[in-house]
Amino acid sequence: MAQTQGEPIILRRAKAFAHMLEETPLEIPDGALIVGRHPKTTLNEEEAARIREEWRRVADPSEDEELHYQQQGLFRAPIITLHLAPDAQRALSIGLGGLSKAIRDRLETQNISSPLVGEDKGNFARPKRASSPAKAGGGSTPTLALPHEEGGNAAISPDAMNSQNRPCASSAEGQEKQDAAACEFLNAALICLEATGRFIQRHADLALEMAASEEDETRRAELQEIAAVCRRIASEPPNTFREALQLIWFIYLLVNLESDHIIHCAGPGTLDRWLIEFYQEDVKAKRLTPEQALELLECFFVEMNASLPRGGILPLAIGGLKAEGEGAENELTWLCLKSAADLRMLHPSLALRYHRNMPRELLRAALRCIGSGNSYPALFNDDVCVASLRQSGVSEKDAWDWVHSICTELTAVGKTCAWIAAPYLNLAKCLELTLNHGRCLLTGEQLGEDLGDLTTYADFEELYDAYKKQVSFIMDKGLQATARNQQQAKEKTPYPFLSCFTADCLEKGRDYTDGGARYNPDYVQGIGLSTAADSLTAIRHFIFDKGMVDPEHLLNALKSDFNGFEELHQRLLNKPPKYGNDDDYADRVFAGLVEDFYGEVKRHTNATGRACFPGFMTWESHNLLGKGTGASADGRRARAALSDSVGAVQGMDRKGLTALLLSVTKSDYVPAVGGVTFNVKVSPEMFSSDEMLERLEAALVTYFEAGGFQVQVNVLSRQLLEEALENPDLHTNLIVRVGGFSAYFVELDRGLQEEIIARTIHS
């Protein structure tokens, strides 16, 4: 905005956010019960690319170098990472007005270090609610009029936000700069919150206007109810299930809009836990039936898909355990699952948090949802995931309320600013460089350290030690790129609205991008793990153990992409032990790579001081980084997709589902808080009878009891996928699991489509 030129960036972004909410045309579609939709629902690829390029031009020029590294297959370091589940419980407990008042009180008293009103170390207790929606002001939180209403508390004026007049500037020596920044942040947060209240009130006004001209009596009553709901939650805490659900939707819609509509991965967290008390009280008071709640949830899910661009991930985790060890599943867990099964849409990215005491009928219902053609829910092992978060430093209390913040990486809901790809590190490329003097097999460019080549290593141990050094060298470069991007995000794209719903940001007076969140981990993702493992296994087997292949012969074959080396190529594909077949020879190599990757990541710290934690979440990076990776010793051709996370190399798990599950569980994934993605493709016949479904269920339960982290199941035939590849217009609604997320198959990159088709189908 030109009128804010020269002001601090965080205030400029807050005012731009407020301007957007004031000027955006509103829409309440026919039949909608949950409202709030951005009129421009999708950025096409050209627009998104243009905006990203504009961001690049104002960012560090060294990003051109980072892009070059990505094209060469080394790593990917995303420019901005905004993957989280905001803490909507704050708004549910004290309302937007209560949160605004707490910030305003702090500014006016010039005490930015005091706790916010109504908080306990960032965790807001829910006040006693009114027994009836008619008693709108009956809770313990005072009713606050909106800023523009008569009698309301005025927002900090534009003049007061100029640097000369900003309140609460500290006079204490050494604190002035810090306190001034905190005041800028708190003012920005206040601007965003009060603009949000006005935005919600605009929906109330529109609903009443539409009701006045609505001829259908039923729809007129619905519009009047929409107006009443919006009018209350614009400033006050919700009293009913519907009010709470509507408020949560507004928060998530606006968090995603604040992120410029490109990075859109803020989801509704653990909705069944947050809303169960509202639901139960409404049902008890006969204000709500389960059928009405289901309709509202389905309207909520529809708005996700209508208002946010394709390509985003809106995570929702249901079920799991409470801190006391009891199952957290409840009536809303079932309703969320049924909503997803009924609608069969991309959003939300649904996960079921499995635990050993979970009712088997709930797990069976989840499997039936998957088998009906949905690609969700993904199944997570709650015991392993909670232990993983605890091991990464998350408190016991916070660890029980977790969500997969985009694909499979774990974050404490509303408390975490995780850079979930910091970076994506290509382990197969690291091995390629180790075999070729640090040079790229595709271009000959010197990308890594010159530690020798395949002909110079005396034994497998020497080769493996060199590989680990290469991983460390490339990891350093990736972390440097990540640190630069984090600094750019802090300086150019603060998120004051999101920060209002991230624990400790308001308490610290610091933005989400500036260390304000309670937890600030960097997740370093190992990509191409199975490709690297099978390649090392083949080298160990053929060269160092059996002496059946000359090292120079294999190196020349890799350099030529196996052209002229077809016999060797077939031997590499079919003769060595392969991970994913319960073969200890191959599985030990894989497990060694996993453990050594953990150790290497933990030895590193980001230049910004953020701690690093390991993971194997791929997103689409196994395909993108594969394009820059030469031929590998497992028989993979140059530029082909790499393996996907901890699953076997595509098509190499040849001894059935049980053998694959046994291979995966030979490694310990508790340290992998950055996420583990395990894709399993099964034939539709597995769901053809109760007996077959019981077998699949038993196999997955055994997998989890053996320490499995996560699994996601595609139920698709090769024939159907090949038909969709050739005739995409006939299969526009075919949903598949990719690298931890769901997508429409026909919209994927051709390389990803072929990678999915190549996966083994288990029956």
List active site positions. 407, 409
Distance CA 322, CA 396 (A): 11
Structure tokens at 652: 């190499």
Collapsing DSSP to helix, strand or coil, 760 comes out as coil
User: Under 8 Å CB-to-CB from 698, ≥6 apart: which residues?
Assistant: none
Are the beta carbons of 538 and 634 closer than 8 angstroms? yes
**Environment class of 22 (CB within 10 Å of its CB; exposed 0-12, middle 13-18, buried 19+):** exposed
Axis crossing angle, helix 241-258 with helix 9-23, rounded to the nearest 10:
120
Of residues 186, 209, 108, 189, the one with CA closest to residue 153 = 108
- Which helix (H) or strand (E) segment holds residue 551: the answer is helix 551-559
Are the beta carbons of 521 and 611 closer than 8 angstroms? yes
User: How crowded is residue 295: how many other Cβ atoms within 10 Å of its Cβ?
Assistant: 15
The Cα diameter of the chain in Å comes to 87
Q: DSSP character for 532?
A: H
- Which helix (H) or strand (E) segment holds residue 478: the answer is helix 460-492
Structure tokens at 687: 């769901």
Of residues 79, 71, 81, the one with CA closest to residue 625 = 71
Of residues 387, 430, 433, the one with CA closest to residue 410 = 387
> What length does the chain have?
763
Q: DSSP character for 154?
A: P
- Where are the alpha helices (H) located in 687-762, listed in sequence order? 690-705, 718-726, 750-758
Structure tokens at 630: 């030469």
Residue type, 397: K
Residue entry with tokens 């008693």: 135
**Environment class of 682 (CB within 10 Å of its CB; exposed 0-12, middle 13-18, buried 19+):** buried
The phi and psi torsions of 33 (rounded to 5 degrees) equal -110, -25
Of residues 165, 163, 166, 187, the one with CA closest to residue 18 = 187
User: Under 8 Å CB-to-CB from 331, ≥6 apart: which residues?
Assistant: 276, 279, 280, 290
Of residues 81, 4, 28, the one with CA closest to residue 424 = 81
Distance CA 741, CA 346 (A): 9
Are the beta carbons of 210 and 28 closer than 8 angstroms? yes
Of residues 669, 185, 612, the one with CA closest to residue 418 = 612
Q: DSSP of 181-224, one letter per residue?
A: HHHHHHHHHHHHHHHHHHHHHHHHHHHHHHHHH---HHHHHHHH
- Cα–Cα–Cα angle for 43, 47, 52, rounded to 5 degrees: 105
- Cα–Cα–Cα angle for 416, 420, 423, rounded to 5 degrees: 140
Are the beta carbons of 485 and 78 closer than 8 angstroms? yes
Are the beta carbons of 28 and 206 closer than 8 angstroms? yes
Collapsing DSSP to helix, strand or coil, 381 comes out as strand
